[in-house]
Structure formats: structure tokens, C-alpha cells
Amino acid sequence: MLNRLLSHDLPRSRWLGLALLLIVAALAAAPFLFPGAKALAVAAKALVFILLVASFDLLLGYTGIVSFAHTMFFGIGAYGVAVASTRLGPGWDSIGIGLLGALVLSLGLSMLIGLFSLRVKAIFYAMITLAVASAFMTLASQLSDVTGGEDGLTYKNPEWLSPSFEPFENPVLGLVVDGRIFTYYLILVAVALLFLLLLRIVNSPFGRVLQAIRENDFRAEALGYRTVVYRTWSNVLSAGFATAAGALLALWLRYVGPDTTLSFEIMLDILLIVVIGGMGTMYGAVVGSVLFVLAQNYLQDLLKVGAAALEGVPLLSQIVSPDRWLLWLGVLFVLSVYHFPTGIVGRLRAMALRLKA
């Protein structure tokens, strides 16, 4: 049953399977295990990034396409929900209309980018997508009547997803159930279903062709596969899943601005997570996203503890200062890439193969 659910793509490593099991259990029980607004926000962001990074891995890890326009589709999904909720008012119909409109726009743009740009190779395609993403971000910042400009858009969710909605008078297992809890579990279920769908895609005959194109596109072309068509469809599918991730983030934040979805820093984060987790594995998106979001949100708190312990030591207290958390985050990334050149998932699977041998 589990084998079919995972599309016959099992972790193939005992340690990886244990890590994935712990991550899934922790995310499923996060509202009960980690009370507090920050902990729940970190868990929700990790879920959104799992879907976002997995959708990008379909492009980079399975098809071998380097695109810098992924945050554009992420932002389209978020802005679609935000604009619809602002203009039509809070409601499930607004979310549906916004998501549908965002998907139509994203799929259309990704199709055009694929058809006109994927005939060029490597760095040239990456530069084209970077230019398109930059132009879209500028457009979103300038169309203040529609997107709110630099200030972004603030809106309300449907009643069931509103923080003020409390269906139970008493706490459930010590947790006050409100609209934020419903929103979190809506995101959890949506990410789980879409991630399983991505697993099915990459393990289907279509996914095998994508991997063949990644390994040797000339040979795939010689075998009769129209590589431009397959690359275009990979681009379209990836954009669709990224749009869904943006819509889920919009439901959680109830605010959308250029910095929250369209920033190039988010694109760099996605690239880092894919490399650290392991390209072409899908499970790397789960492991990498959770580790990255945890480091991003709690490394500064950890450094505060270290600085307090080393207070009075002239040099060390300055090195572990919380103000230098970005430096330590960069050091951790460099060390992880150095020790895990194939990503964490790739390293764990290689270790399992060596043990079997």
C-alpha cells in the first residue's frame, strides 16, 4: 500500500525513511507539539516550501532546466488569491476564482516561455527567465491599483479560515482550535496530495523521458522524443505547482507583497534547498526545506544562547553574535554542500547501497 502511495519510489535508506517519518509526524502534530504563533508559522512556511521546492526540482533535478522565473509563478498564485479576495470579498468563491485565474495566467506564460525560449541552451535560457521574472516583479510593484504596489495587499480569508473563528468552546487536547489551525491543516493536506502527485509524475513514463533528456538530450531526440515538447510540458507542470504553493502561502499570511513572493532572495533559497536536499529526488525537497526553514528562523536564537554563554570572551563572543546569523547560515550551507555533494538524500541512499554491498 505504501509502495503504491509513493509511486514505487521508496526512500531506499533506513535513515532517510526514519527522517521522513519524523518530519511528517512533526508537521502533522505541530499545532499540538509546538504551541505558539511562531512555531506554527515556521511549520506552515516549511510546508509551502516543500511544495515550491519540489515543483522546482521537477525542472532542475529531473529535466535539467535552470530557470529563474519560478518565483514569478509563485507570486502569481499568491497575487491571484489576494486580488480576488480584495475585489470580491472574503469567501471560498473568491479563493477559487483567484486560483483559477492565477493558474490560467501561469500556465499560459510558462507555455510561451517554454515554446520560445527552451530552444536555446543552458545559461541563455536562465538569463531569459531571469529577465522575465525581473520584469514581472517591476510590473507588480508599479501596478498599485491592482497589486497594491510596494505596500502589497491585505485581505480577509473565509470565516472558517479566520483567526477569530473558534468552533469549540473548550480546548481540544490543550489546543485552542481556531481558523489558523484549520488553515494550517488545509495547507498540510493540499501539500501532501500535490507532493504525492509530483511523485507520480516523475515516476511515470513521462518522468522517465524527462530524466533521459536530462542525461542526454541528443540521444533522447534520436530515439524519437520531441525534447522541446517534453521540456515545455515540464515547465508548465512546474509552474502550476508553484502557483498552487503561492496560493497556499497567501491563505496563511493574508498579505501579499513583492518581497513575500517575488523576491530574488526566495529564488536563491529555492536553489540552495534543492542542492542541499538532493536534486532529482523529490524527498530532498522535504528534508532540505525543513532544515532550511528551521535554520532561518531559529539559528539567531541559538546564537543568542551561545553569545550569552561566551560573554566576556573577547573574540568568540563577537563571532557568535546573533547579528552574524547570516554568516553562520552561509557557513552551514558551504559545509553541507562540501560533505553532501549529491545532497543529503543522495548521500543517505549511497550509504545504504554501500551497506547492502
For each of the domains in the chain, give its residue range(s) and CATH number, in order of start: 2-356 (1.10.3470)
Residues 6+ apart with CB under 8 A from 155: 82, 85, 86, 90, 254, 255
Q: How far apart are CA 10 and CA 18, in angstroms?
A: 12
Q: Is the pLDDT of residue 312 over 80?
A: no
List the beta bridge partners of residue 256.
Answer: 153
Task: Look up the pTM and report it.
Answer: 0.94
Q: What is the pLDDT of residue 102?
A: 96
Whether 93 shows a pLDDT value over 70: the answer reads: yes
Angle at 258 between CA 326 and CA 150, to 5 degrees: 110
pLDDT at 235 over 80: yes
| Cα–Cα nearest to 181, from 155, 158, 160 | 160
Q: What pLDDT was estimated at residue 17?
A: 92
Q: How far apart are CA 152 and CA 204, in angstroms?
A: 40
pLDDT tens for each residue of 131-186: 889 999 988 888 888 888 888 999 999 988 988 888 887 888 778 888 899 999 99
Judge contact between 69 and 113, C-beta under 8 A: yes
Q: Averaged over 202-220, what is the pLDDT? A: 90
pLDDT at 246 > cutoff 80: yes
pLDDT tier at 100, thresholds 50, 70, 90: very high
Q: Report the C-alpha gap between 159 and 178 in whole angstroms.
A: 10
On average, the pLDDT of the chain sits at: 88
Structure-model confidence comparison of residues 317 and 199, the more confident one: 199
